[in-house]
Structure 1
Amino acid sequence: MRTADKNFEELCYWCRIGDVENVDRLISKGVNLNDIDEFNNSPLFLASLCGHEDLVNLLLKRGAICDRDRHEGARCVYGALTDSIRNILLNYDISKAVDLKQPFASHLSSQLNDQSIRGHDIMLKLANGQHTRLHGFLLAARSPYFAKQLQELGSEHVTLDLPKEVPSVGLDIISSYVYLVPLLHTITDEESESIGHFSQLFGFAGLTEFLDKAKDIQDQVQISKLVTEYQHNFIEEARLQMQLFVEKIMDNKKTVNVANGISPDTLNSLKNGPTLPDVYLLVRSNEDSDIGFLYPCHRSIIIRSDYFRVMFTSPFDETTFYYKTADGLVDRSVDFPIVCFPIHDLHAAELILSYLYYDRTEIPWDVALNVLRAADALLMERLKTMAAVAITQSSHFLERYSVFELLDVAWEFRVERLEHHVANTIAGDIEHYVSLPQLKDAILRSSSMLKTRQETDTIELIDDIRYYLLKKYNVDAEDLDDFDWNETNEGGLELRTEVSMYKSDYQRLENLLEKMNINI
């Protein structure tokens, strides 16, 4: 059945074009990768048909299904444009079809057994003595039952006794569901009834719904489809829960004056709050201000940033800070680390927190530049790319910033997508830009980078502008040398006009290079 989702329609468009960044952005919004368009084409089929190998790999990694025994999978394989893509699809393990579809889900699953930062602060204990250690904040975010129980216990308690009716298998089910580890294929018919009972008690809505539907289905093909559907639904359920949890983090932030020292009362009120934090994130309101905002956060989430991961896994204990009380004494009872956000922008900081917790990738154009700067400092390459996408897709960005300011940003933070956007913009109005001294300066700067970019023997900015001039007029460079103005060429007057306009713009650029005594 054709989807009515506008995001899915946009996803299909970018799959035809081959834009990896935009596809990844839409996947992060929860688009169903295994839906089909009005022509019965899946995103994977479109990517393979159009020959976009990088995109095929991304779609498979994010959970697109290529089952060769089904019509949709066979179409992908036999419709692939290249042998390379066909081999990727043929070698793909169908068991990965229920693998994790989004980076945030993959990260949550990895935290189930990751002991590197000692974040497992709550022990769940069965009546028979079996137990497991999990993250209290994640239990609270994903279950109203656990949120209530943990809040009543208080921050000093580390053990939570589960109801007597929870069977031994319950610990694995709770862990898998909360951490988004695929579990539906492991549940037996004998276990379904007892699992359904406690999943309803804990507020595991998606799991309860799946078990209720599955009990009346005998056909294995239908069961398989239901499993695939609900594994996707579980991720979207978790994203929404984490989004609501982040809103709670924002609501509980505290305004502090760092010059006077952050009082233990402020820190302890956050520590004992509903978000069950184990780290505080400090964001200054601006560079010259002593006023900042303190967010109650979680190390196991913010280590999605490699910057924070290195900080918390370093053998040097440099992340714990103690603050003086009003009488000047050092209070060592507050042992939570306080870490500083690398730029002074509250909006960008909260957007990045949203990305870390539930993979929000919708970035408004007016904050995209600061998000890019912060993402670079935090070593978050994927978020840098998403910020660049937001910039290039905005019609307003270049109303506030000049194209040369954007080029400086592209070079400073090594974002090729922005370099190409600048070149495309210049090519679009070459008559205007060749008259500006800033273009000369930019060409000289690009030329000076040749020593650090040894893979090219020409000026990259000039090459990019020439490329986009060809695209502007839809002219093939290989045809230019053979073009004969005295003959009737295929395409007639329209082609002659396009070639003529291209040559006129091209000559404007060449004239500028000649004045600058640059011969390339």
Structure 2
Amino acid sequence: MDTCDLFSSCRKGDVGRVRYLLEQRDVEVNVRDKWDSTPLYYACLCGHEELVLYLLANGARCEANTFDGERCLYGAQSDTIRRALRDYRQVTASFRRRDLYYSFLLRSFRAHRGILGARSTYFAHMLDTKWKGKSVVVLRHPLINPVAFGALLQYLYTGCLDVGVEHVSDCERLARQCQLWGLLGGLEAKLASKPGVCMKVLTIEPPQADCQLREDLALLADCALPSELRGDLGELPFPCDGLSSCPDVCFRVDGYDFLCHKAFFCGRSEYFRALLDDHFQESGQLAASGGLPAVALQSVSPEVFTHVLYYVYSNHTEVPPELACDVLSVADMYLLPGLKQLCGRSLAQLLDEDSVVGVWRVAKLFGLARLEDQCTKYMARVIEKLVQQEDFVEAVREEAAAVAGRQETDSIPLVDDIRFHMGSLVQTRHAMEQAAQRLHVLEELLVAIGLDC
């Protein structure tokens, strides 16, 4: 539903609605519809210049000499939009970065054993046998193209791939050698899907339903778990005992040692970056098994930190509703906004007449705009029962008191949101009558507590 709304809003040029869908509803800016069109294409086609600039600034892809780029340029309604597409740094920045990147990679590649092993059984085997213990691996085979190998690393780390079409055959050869069948199939499908289209750069992105990258990186989280907490994780591509996944830091939580990788935690969280930078400059560090430096984390339980662990590695974790508040508090402390959003989705499952006010308070406290919106929408549906609850009445009073210098005619944010959702639910005559009744009940409450507005 949100995706359809995004395409419709792009055709209309509704920048405010598009901003809401991308920033509050987390809709993917480069999503495609059944005609293989993107939101940027419709914005260009319909001549909405302001919207085109907004989409480009927020990650919409329109690289030159690609299918999407040529299509947007061809369909653009005005010369102003065409100039924006050609001149905007987003169009060429990736190419400039790639050229500089590959000029460096021609000399050497820096990679992480754990990621390579988790993403490819071939690399897992080689790192455990022929390359075991080596800090430098020299690849001398004449058929290994450095540019293709760099693209392969990009795929292993991100699940995406950008490579010039002249190097596609080299990428296919490497994908086959490294047993990356998903990449191989993606390359073949991409070439077959654009017959007759002149492309200079081939781009592969995993479909939204593809969880392979997430599952592969979650294996590193499996290995980081203390043995007492692993349970039945099934067979892993490499053993979890010892230092097989090459951890370089230990987080000690309530007596349990989590053997982790600084790169993941520092890359995902400014809190951990500051913590680890400061910690390793101090003397008298704790020592974990295997001689790793250990950092003791306070005010977090092993169960909660396990969810932090899986989110940091795989960008996902299943947070049970009963644990969502605890994980949310820690996610806020560790500066992990994505994990906060996952907790918000979990808390949304708790919404009922008795809990909605409490969940709404949590949403406001932690800045979860989507959850707050879900709560007020639910309140609009059950307002007849909420007006009889003291916690709801108190919440309305607090919202009114929070408006600095409030006059009698000033609005109350909570009440305004509920009114909005009452109106948005109206689609039939019967729904209109219900909405009028609910509004009347809300107005009676405001009059009763002296907050008529």
Fold in common (TM above 0.5): yes
Aligned to 1:185: 164
Residue 376 in structure 1 maps to residue 332 in structure 2 = yes
Aligned to 1:301: 264
Amino acid at match of 2:221: I
Aligned to 1:336: 293
Deviation at 1:148, TM superposition (A): 2.2
Contact 2:270–2:335 under 8 Å retained in 1: yes
Alpha-carbon distance between aligned partners in 2 of 1:420 and 1:175, rounded to the nearest angstrom? 40
TM-score by length of 2: 0.69
Instruction: Give a deviation string over 1:381-438, Cα, whole Å, max 9, x none.
Output: 233234334544x4xx124961121122123212233333232222212221111111
Label 1:514 to 1:216 Cα distance change in 2 as closer, same or farther (>3 A). closer
Residue 405 in structure 1 maps to residue 358 in structure 2 = yes
Match of 2:128 among 136, 151, 162: 151
Deviation at 1:459, TM superposition (A): 2.5
Amino acid at match of 1:335: L
Alpha-carbon distance between aligned partners in 2 of 1:509 and 1:158, rounded to the nearest angstrom? 68
Alpha-carbon distance between aligned partners in 1 of 2:190 and 2:444, rounded to the nearest angstrom? 72
The farther-off stretch of 434-443 and 408-417 is 408-417
Counterparts in 2 of 1:81-480, with a 5 A limit? 95=91, 131-152=108-129, 157-165=134-142, 169=146, 172=150, 175-180=153-158, 182-185=161-164, 187-188=166-167, 192=169, 197-205=173-181, 221=197, 223=199, 227-228=202-203, 231-233=204-206, 240-247=212-219, 249-250=221-222, 253-255=225-227, 272-284=242-254, 292=256, 294-303=257-266, 304-314=268-278, 317=281, 321-323=285-287, 334-338=291-295, 340=297, 343-344=300-301, 346=303, 349-360=305-316, 367-392=323-348, 394=349, 397-399=350-352, 402-451=355-404, 458-473=411-426
Alpha-carbon distance between aligned partners in 2 of 1:84 and 1:450, rounded to the nearest angstrom? 43
Label 1:248 to 1:94 Cα distance change in 2 as closer, same or farther (>3 A). closer
Aligned residues: 419
Contact 1:21–1:385 under 8 Å retained in 2: no
Aligned to 1:12: 4
Label 1:156 to 1:379 Cα distance change in 2 as closer, same or farther (>3 A). same
Counterparts in 2 of 1:43-82, with a 5 A limit? 43-44=39-40, 53=51, 57=55, 61=59, 63=61, 67=68, 69-70=70-71, 77-78=76-77
Amino acid at match of 1:12: C
Instruction: Give a deviation string over 1:227-249, Cα, whole Å, max 9, x none.
Output: 13xx2149998x62452342353
Amino acid at match of 1:510: E
Match of 1:509 among 407, 422, 442: 442
Contact 2:379–2:386 under 8 Å retained in 1: yes
Contact 1:410–1:419 under 8 Å retained in 2: yes
Contact 2:321–2:347 under 8 Å retained in 1: yes
Alpha-carbon distance between aligned partners in 2 of 1:200 and 1:432, rounded to the nearest angstrom? 62
Instruction: Give a deviation string over 1:47-95, Cα, whole Å, max 9, x none.
Output: 787989599628961647784642x6655x449xxx9999976865674
Any unmatched runs of 5+ in structure 1? 1-8, 28-32, 100-105, 114-123, 258-268, 285-289, 325-330, 475-493
Contact 1:67–1:74 under 8 Å retained in 2: no
Aligned to 2:233: none
The farther-off stretch of 438-447 and 144-153 is 144-153
Contact 1:246–1:354 under 8 Å retained in 2: yes
Amino acid at match of 2:55: N
Aligned to 1:6: none
Contact 1:16–1:50 under 8 Å retained in 2: no
Deviation at 1:184, TM superposition (A): 1.2
TM-score by length of 1: 0.62
Alpha-carbon distance between aligned partners in 2 of 1:299 and 1:415, rounded to the nearest angstrom? 28
Amino acid at match of 1:246: A
Aligned to 2:33: 36
Label 1:40 to 1:97 Cα distance change in 2 as closer, same or farther (>3 A). farther
Alpha-carbon distance between aligned partners in 2 of 1:273 and 1:207, rounded to the nearest angstrom? 29
Amino acid at match of 1:243: E
Label 1:432 to 1:55 Cα distance change in 2 as closer, same or farther (>3 A). farther
Contact 1:253–1:295 under 8 Å retained in 2: yes
Instruction: Give a deviation string over 1:238-295, Cα, whole Å, max 9, x none.
Output: x6245234235325622569xxxxxxxxxxx9684332212234455xxxxx6x4x33
Alpha-carbon distance between aligned partners in 2 of 1:280 and 1:334, rounded to the nearest angstrom? 10
Any unmatched runs of 5+ in structure 2? 10-17, 230-238
Contact 2:387–2:442 under 8 Å retained in 1: yes
**Percent of aligned pairs with the same amino acid:** 22
Contact 2:32–2:38 under 8 Å retained in 1: yes
Instruction: Give a deviation string over 1:1-45, Cα, whole Å, max 9, x none.
Output: xxxxxxxx8743565475336863668xxxxx46432x6754545
Amino acid at match of 1:358: S
The 3-state SS of whatever aligns with 1:509 is helix
Deviation at 1:442, TM superposition (A): 0.8
Label 1:210 to 1:16 Cα distance change in 2 as closer, same or farther (>3 A). closer
Alpha-carbon distance between aligned partners in 2 of 1:50 and 1:296, rounded to the nearest angstrom? 53
The farther-off stretch of 135-144 and 47-56 is 47-56
Alpha-carbon distance between aligned partners in 1 of 2:47 and 2:378, rounded to the nearest angstrom? 27
Alpha-carbon distance between aligned partners in 2 of 1:360 and 1:55, rounded to the nearest angstrom? 31
Contact 1:14–1:22 under 8 Å retained in 2: no
The farther-off stretch of 140-149 and 205-214 is 205-214
The 3-state SS of whatever aligns with 2:205 is helix
Amino acid at match of 2:451: I
The farther-off stretch of 90-99 and 239-248 is 90-99
The 3-state SS of whatever aligns with 1:398 is coil
Alpha-carbon distance between aligned partners in 2 of 1:299 and 1:358, rounded to the nearest angstrom? 15
Contact 1:426–1:433 under 8 Å retained in 2: yes
Contact 2:115–2:217 under 8 Å retained in 1: no
User: Higher RCO, 1 or 2 (CA under 8 Å, sep at least 6)?
Assistant: 1
Amino acid at match of 1:406: V
Amino acid at match of 1:36: D
Instruction: Give a deviation string over 1:133-190, Cα, whole Å, max 9, x none.
Output: 322222222333332232347986423333544657366455545445854117558x
- Higher CA-based Rg: 1
